[in-house]
Amino acid sequence: MFSQTSEYALRAVVWLATEAEGPVGVQWIAEGTQVPESYLSKVLQQLSQAGLVISRRGVGGGHELSRPPNEITILEVINCVDPIKRITSCPLSLKSHSKKRCGMHSKLDEALQNIEAIFSQSTIDDVVNNPNCPPPLKEVRRGSRQRRN
Amino acid sequence: MFSQTSEYALRAVVWLATEAEGPVGVQWIAEGTQVPESYLSKVLQQLSQAGLVISRRGVGGGHELSRPPNEITILEVINCVDPIKRITSCPLSLKSHSKKRCGMHSKLDEALQNIEAIFSQSTIDDVVNNPNCPPPLKEVRRGSRQRRN
């Protein structure tokens, strides 16, 4: 249901939120999140284009979150890479459904609306510091925090 | 979020629930649902293999629902063609998450659980006869109910 890209984007943001103390090279994030480096580079590019991650090349560069984890929602991360597309109009372009969707598409959209609500009310900080769950990614061998670009 | 295949399967089941009075050839279902016939054939095959649709070849054959629409949930239709995959174990296979998922995957699974609940509580009959919505697919030029195999 949720794409591989969404999963990887969330891992990257969670890792940056918990493990990075400054700009970090993609190699370390890939190692810490178990995401192939080339795939992760594209995901980070999308997150950067959306303004959620600051990416700088060269010496002293790397990737870091643009905002603190308690100001980033799960919905924002997912919408950066694989947006939840609400069904706001009839996919069949039926004229008689132009003002009101049919029962089938209303029900599908109800589920999407529900997902949006759950994810918009949950920040990266919430999932990282959920007292009822083990912290995400923690067992993965951490990449050194040393910069490597 | 929901795949094209899920959308098409739902259209097919809704159309069979509302327009068919017996076994119907794929041509008519394709016309009534605006789904390419070759794609629809594969979808109907999946629905048939899952027991939701009865498909018979030859004279007098065609496709029809195996149960009345008030006994078929949206969840069943979607799970026939593109199952909702709950996150019941750690996707990274972390040992320390084997008994309890982390906060990130718990939250993703919470959304999936929510979708399952919404769709398992809603039958095809419910979406077809929702008094607050126009009926699905109705404006599409109907395929004749005449058998054509």
Burial class (CB in 10 A: 0-12, 13-18, 19+), A55: middle
Q: Which residues contact B109 (CB under 8 A, 6 or more apart)?
A: B86, B87, B88, B101
Q: Is residue B136 part of a domain?
A: no
Residue A121's alpha-carbon distances to A9, A78, B111, in angstroms, are 18, 13, 12
Q: Is residue B148 part of a domain?
A: no
**Strand runs (DSSP E) across chain A, as ranges?**
53-56, 62-65
CA distance B29 to B11: 9
Q: Is residue A142 part of a domain?
A: no
Which of B41, B59, B44 has its CA nearest to residue B147? B59
Check B103 against A34: CB less than 8 A apart. no
Check A133 against B103: CB less than 8 A apart. yes
User: Which residues are bridge partners to A63 per DSSP?
Assistant: A24, A55
Structural contact between residues A136 and B109, judged by C-beta atoms closer than 8 angstroms: no
Q: Nearest-CA distance from A54 to chain B in Å? A: 22
Q: Is residue B120 part of a domain?
A: yes
* Helix, strand counts (H, E) of chain B: 6, 2
In which residue are the tokens 């990887």 written?
Answer: A8
Q: Is residue A136 part of a domain?
A: no
Structural contact between residues A31 and A11, judged by C-beta atoms closer than 8 angstroms: no
Number of folded domains that form chain A: 1
CA distance A28 to A137: 13
Q: Nearest-CA distance from B63 to chain A in Å? A: 21
Chain B's closest residue to A130, CA to CA, is B103
Q: What is the pLDDT of residue B139?
A: 67
- The two structure tokens encoding residue A147: 């910069």
CATH of the domain at B32: 1.10.10.10
Q: Nearest-CA distance from B22 to chain A in Å? A: 22
**Which residues of chain A, if any, have pLDDT below 50?**
141, 143-149
Q: Is residue A149 part of a domain?
A: no
**Which residues of chain B, if any, have pLDDT below 70?**
139-149
Q: What is the pLDDT of residue A146?
A: 42
Whether A117 and chain B come into contact, CB under 8 Å, resolves to: no
Q: Is residue A141 part of a domain?
A: no
Alpha helices in B3-148 (DSSP H): 4-19, 26-33, 37-49, 74-81, 103-120, 124-128
How many Cα atoms are found within 13 Å in the side-chain-facing hemisphere of B79?
17
Domain that holds residue B41: 4-128
